[in-house]
Amino acid sequence: MTDVHRPTVRSKNMSAIKSKNTKPELLIRKALHARGLRYRLHVKNLPGSPDIVFARYKAVIFVNGCFWHGHHCHLSSTPKTREEFWLGKISNNMTRDRLVHDQIRSTGSRLGVVWECAVKGRTRNTLDSVIDELENWLCDPSSRGIEISGKA
């Protein structure tokens, strides 16, 4: 299938996609803050600049977009144009994610990943259930990591 946009328009559209302060990230941050949980944002001296950092709990959370980070759900599909390019790009992102996650764990921090499909799309959970899971995880220091995605 041919792209409906000219290459220059498609390039402009794709470059406008944000990596910080995305809608799913803002939803989660606002709900965590409403529960009295305080955090720092995008701490540059930690591997991967995690989206949300809880120094008190020695925990970090990444809010990942399903397309960009290669999550296998209904929000992620391979574009039909330049398929090799996109497969390579997403594969590199996944490799970098694994490396960053290993580096985070090596600092002694606990790691949380919330996928976009957990709060968006047809398989989304309620925001309260996602925040409940995160809060329970944060308050349990014996729990090493958590990954939250949409309902199967």
Is residue 1 assigned to a domain?
no
Q: Which residues contact 134 (CB under 8 A, 6 or more apart)?
A: 28, 32, 61, 112, 114, 146, 148
Q: Minimal CA–CA distance to 51: which of 28, 74, 78?
A: 28
Name the DSSP letter for residue 42: -
Is residue 34 assigned to a domain?
yes
Is residue 135 assigned to a domain?
yes
Counting the structural domains of the chain, the total is 1
Is residue 81 assigned to a domain?
yes
Is residue 28 assigned to a domain?
yes
Is residue 11 assigned to a domain?
no
pLDDT for 81 equals 83
The pLDDT confidence band at residue 63, using thresholds 50, 70 and 90, is very high
Name the DSSP letter for residue 75: T
Note the pLDDT tens digit of each residue in 65-109: 999 999 999 988 888 888 899 999 999 999 999 999 999 999 999
CATH number (domain holding residue 99): 3.40.960.10
pLDDT for 112 equals 98
Domain with 28 in it: 19-148
Is residue 8 assigned to a domain?
no
**DSSP per residue, 101-143:** HHHHHHTT-EEEEEEGGGTSSTTPPPHHHHHHHHHHHHH-TT-
Is residue 99 assigned to a domain?
yes
Alpha-carbon gap, residue 69 to 72, rounded angstroms: 9
Higher pLDDT: 28 or 7? It is 28
What pTM value is reported for the model? 0.87
